[in-house]
Structure 1
């Protein structure tokens, strides 16, 4: 993804972190040395051809992250975690989203927020990555709600590929067909992640012994976040063994990746 802007760019991502969480609820991961991370992930899905359309970056607001919040240098980004809506006053006022906008999204009232800001006005950013403590250990969360110019519309145009890992999902799939399964609407990779991802470069956010699963979002869809339950109540086919519990969530077109921590307060 390439970009060119007249002002500093940033992205705010709501996260279902524990209520009244501390600033250490999120750990940012530097993937600046692994530019091909998403290309490698796509190599696990040769049929049909992988989604390679790049969605335009989310609308951004100019302004620098205020030093009153801990700022992490993550490759070409500055990153910070805002523990709650009340903590947004610790950011530059030009950077915050108005409270009347958040009032249209009441589910976020006690959530935390990850903030990424690009250093340069133009270029080709590397993948963003972070892991966070979650209050919902049985689900994988993708923050896909779009907010444009302070407006929250009922529908938006999506062109996203979502990737995740979970041993329960591996236990719930059959052979690789290259098409979404009828129940979960997920596509499984042809083999385990270590056959197409450089696990060492991924710095622990990919389990090389698990499959990768993909969900495609394309077209005018309901403007809402995506939740994927890990467990199924139906009889399942088995794939491999269940050695670890390592959920992974990735949104490819805007090149960031999230991994949930199985830690609750």
Structure 2
């Protein structure tokens, strides 16, 4: 992983906005209610290596290692409750970026929590930050960034596959992150980013990150400056990116 920091020309401030983070009736990624309600995203903890994400709805059943769990047994319970399934016990946990990474539907290879944590630090992501990401993939890092920049920041996430973009958009809505995210079908290496002169940080997870460097530079705010971070599994990719 490599990082480049662009120094600002002068300081300015971001406009704040309201989002689900300040709404007590928001979906459960932001909700602080004591009890699980119908429609909440719930992480069902089975074992250390087995977790499942469900949207609690009456009449539905989760089948897993410890048998069947009817959603009715989850709704109305306090977060963190131990709940009986047909062949054992599970725990109903409040969702977080870390738990979502463990249980999300994998449409691609994903970045796990240790990598996501380092990337957030390198991007200096914080409430109010504007971040561009490419590519979206399964949305593991996307959720971590969105939760880090909420309630007044924004994530613009780009992917070349429309199906992945539509799916992550749906998940953002279900999790109360729609106000702080924009998912775009766009090849950043050829077409650039959705915004220009706006970002505090740009993250690249693409096969040829050096092709996206000029577009990333255009996306970063000329006033605030920003950080450019690239994740590459091959040292030759890192070398070419640093020479770009």
The structure with the largest helix share of the pair is 2
Q: Normalised by the shorter chain, which TM-score bucket?
A: under 0.3
The structure with the largest strand share of the pair is 1
Output the TM-score relative to the length of structure 1: 0.25
Which structure has more relative contact order (CA 8 Å, sep 6+)? It is 1
